Structure 1
Amino acid sequence: MWARGAPARPLIRPGLVPRYSAELPGARAAVLTRLWRALAHEPLPWITGRGHDARGLALRLLDGRALHGPHADPYATDAYVGVVHLDDEPYDDPARLMTDLAVPHSTGFAAELGHSVASLALSRTARPAHPKEWPVRAWEWEQRVVDGHPFHPNCRSRPGFSVAEQLAYGPEHGAVVELRTIPVPREECLVTGAWPEEGRRLLIPVHPWQAAHVLKLSGEGGQCAHPLMSLRTLALPEGPHVKTALSTRLTSSVRDISEYSIGVSATLSSFAQELAARTDGLLHVTRTLGAVTAHSPDLAAVLRESPRLYAAPDEHVLPVGALATTDLPDSPAWLADFTRLTLAVGLRLLELGVALEAHGQNLLVVLSRTGAPLRLVYRDLADIRLSPARLARHGITPSGLTGRLVTDDETALRRKLFGSLVAGALAGTAGSGAALGTALRTAVRDLPRTPDLTALCEEPLPAKALTLMRLSPQTPGDQWFGLPNPLVLEPGTSDQ
Structure 2
Amino acid sequence: MHRPPTAEAELAADLAAVRPALGTRFAAELPGARAAVLTRLWRALAHEPLPWVVRRAPARDGLTLHLADGRRLHGPHADPYATAASVRAVRLDGTAYDDAARLMTDLAVPHGGGLAAELAHSTASLALSRAGQEPGAAGPKEWPAHDWEWEQRVVDGHPYHPNCRSRPGFSVAEQLAYGPEHRPPAVRLGLLPVPADECLVSGGWPDELRDGHRLLIPVHPWQAAHVLKRSCASGLAAHPLMSLRTLAVPGGPHVKTALSARLTSSVRDISVGSVAASAALSVFAEAVAERTDGLLHMTRSLGAVTADSPDLAAVLRESPAGYAGPGEHVVPVAALATTALPSSPGWLADFARLALTVGLRLLEQGVALEAHGQNLLVVLSASGAPVRLVYRDLADIRVSPARLARHGVAAPELPARILTDDVTALRRKLFGSLVAGALAATAGSGEALGTALAAAVREVPDSGDLRALREEPVPVKALTLMRLSPGVPGDRWARLPNPLVTQGF
TM-score, L = length of structure 1: 0.95
Deviation digits for residues 163-200 of structure 1, max 9, x if unmatched?
10000000001121100011000110000122121101
Residue number among 64, 74, 88 corresponding to 1:68 in the alignment: 74
Question: 2 CA distance for matches of 1:123 and 1:449?
Answer: 44
The secondary structure found in structure 2 opposite 1:229 is: coil
- RMSD value over aligned CA atoms? 1.2
Query: Which piece of structure 1 moves more, 132-141 or 143-152?
Result: 132-141
Question: 1 CA distance for matches of 2:391 and 2:503?
Answer: 33
Deviation digits for residues 226-260 of structure 1, max 9, x if unmatched?
00000000001232100000001000000000111
The secondary structure found in structure 2 opposite 1:222 is: strand
User: Which position in structure 2 is the counterpart of 1:245?
Assistant: 258
Query: Which piece of structure 1 moves more, 155-164 or 47-56?
Result: 47-56
Question: 2 CA distance for matches of 1:135 and 1:402?
Answer: 38
Unaligned runs of 5+ in 1: 1-10, 492-496
Matched, 1:395 2:408: yes
Question: 2 CA distance for matches of 1:298 and 1:220?
Answer: 18
Question: 2 CA distance for matches of 1:53 and 1:283?
Answer: 45
How has the CA–CA distance of structure 1 residues 205 and 31 changed in structure 2, closer, same or farther, with 3 Å as cutoff? same
Question: 1 CA distance for matches of 2:496 and 2:172?
Answer: 36
Matched, 1:51 2:57: yes
Question: 1 CA distance for matches of 2:75 and 2:173?
Answer: 36
Question: 2 CA distance for matches of 1:127 and 1:326?
Answer: 16
Question: 2 CA distance for matches of 1:474 and 1:210?
Answer: 25
Question: 1 CA distance for matches of 2:279 and 2:236?
Answer: 24
Residue number among 256, 259, 273 corresponding to 2:286 in the alignment: 273
User: Which position in structure 2 is the counterpart of 1:192?
Assistant: 202
> Displacement of 1:433 after TM fit?
0.3
User: Which position in structure 1 is the counterpart of 2:118?
Assistant: 112
Aligned length: 481
Question: 1 CA distance for matches of 2:470 and 2:134?
Answer: 38
Matched, 1:170 2:179: yes
Matched, 1:95 2:105: no
Matched, 1:14 2:20: yes
CA contact (8 A) 2:329 2:380 kept: yes
Between the two structures, name the one with larger relative contact order (CA 8 Å, sep ≥ 6).
1
Question: 2 CA distance for matches of 1:447 and 1:152?
Answer: 30
Query: Which piece of structure 1 moves more, 294-303 or 133-142?
Result: 133-142
Question: 2 CA distance for matches of 1:12 and 1:426?
Answer: 38
Match for 1:364: what amino acid?
L
Question: 2 CA distance for matches of 1:266 and 1:202?
Answer: 18
How has the CA–CA distance of structure 1 residues 239 and 327 changed in structure 2, closer, same or farther, with 3 Å as cutoff? farther
The secondary structure found in structure 2 opposite 1:351 is: helix
Matched, 1:228 2:237: no
Residue number among 317, 338, 360 corresponding to 1:325 in the alignment: 338
Deviation digits for residues 350-389 of structure 1, max 9, x if unmatched?
0110000000000000111221101000000000010000
CA contact (8 A) 1:271 1:398 kept: no
Question: 2 CA distance for matches of 1:330 and 1:279?
Answer: 28
Residue number among 158, 162, 181 corresponding to 2:167 in the alignment: 158
CA contact (8 A) 1:98 1:107 kept: yes
CA contact (8 A) 2:342 2:443 kept: no
Matched, 1:433 2:443: no
Match for 1:358: what amino acid?
A
User: Which position in structure 1 is the counterpart of 2:5?
Assistant: none
Question: 1 CA distance for matches of 2:343 and 2:421?
Answer: 40
Match for 2:199: what amino acid?
C
Match for 1:250: what amino acid?
L
Deviation digits for residues 87-126 of structure 1, max 9, x if unmatched?
1100000000000000001111000000000010011123
1:462-477 pair list within 5 angstroms: 462-477=475-490
More helix by share: 2
Match for 1:47: what amino acid?
V
CA contact (8 A) 2:191 2:232 kept: no
Deviation digits for residues 20-57 of structure 1, max 9, x if unmatched?
11110000000000000000000001111011335411
User: Which position in structure 2 is the counterpart of 1:7?
Assistant: none
CA contact (8 A) 2:256 2:314 kept: yes
User: Which position in structure 2 is the counterpart of 1:304?
Assistant: 317
Deviation digits for residues 471-494 of structure 1, max 9, x if unmatched?
110211110121001111249xxx
Residue number among 152, 155, 158 corresponding to 1:149 in the alignment: 158
TM-score, L = length of structure 2: 0.94
Residue number among 36, 43, 53 corresponding to 2:42 in the alignment: 36
Question: 2 CA distance for matches of 1:218 and 1:22?
Answer: 38
The secondary structure found in structure 2 opposite 1:487 is: helix
Query: Which piece of structure 1 moves more, 295-304 or 221-230?
Result: 221-230
User: Which position in structure 1 is the counterpart of 2:128?
Assistant: 122
Matched, 1:408 2:417: no
Deviation digits for residues 131-150 of structure 1, max 9, x if unmatched?
22111111100000000000
User: Which position in structure 2 is the counterpart of 1:5?
Assistant: none
The secondary structure found in structure 1 opposite 2:343 is: coil
Deviation digits for residues 385-423 of structure 1, max 9, x if unmatched?
100000000011133224111000010000000000000
Question: 2 CA distance for matches of 1:390 and 1:369?
Answer: 37
Match for 1:63: what amino acid?
D
Question: 2 CA distance for matches of 1:219 and 1:181?
Answer: 6
Question: 1 CA distance for matches of 2:50 and 2:494?
Answer: 10
CA contact (8 A) 2:224 2:232 kept: no
The secondary structure found in structure 1 opposite 2:222 is: helix
User: Which position in structure 1 is the counterpart of 2:30?
Assistant: 24
Unaligned runs of 5+ in 2: 1-16
> Displacement of 1:327 after TM fit?
2.5
The secondary structure found in structure 1 opposite 2:43 is: helix
Residue number among 381, 391, 408 corresponding to 1:378 in the alignment: 391
User: Which position in structure 2 is the counterpart of 1:86?
Assistant: 92
User: Which position in structure 2 is the counterpart of 1:362?
Assistant: 375
Question: 1 CA distance for matches of 2:457 and 2:110?
Answer: 42
The secondary structure found in structure 2 opposite 1:214 is: helix
> Displacement of 1:330 after TM fit?
2.5
Query: Which piece of structure 1 moves more, 139-148 or 394-403?
Result: 394-403
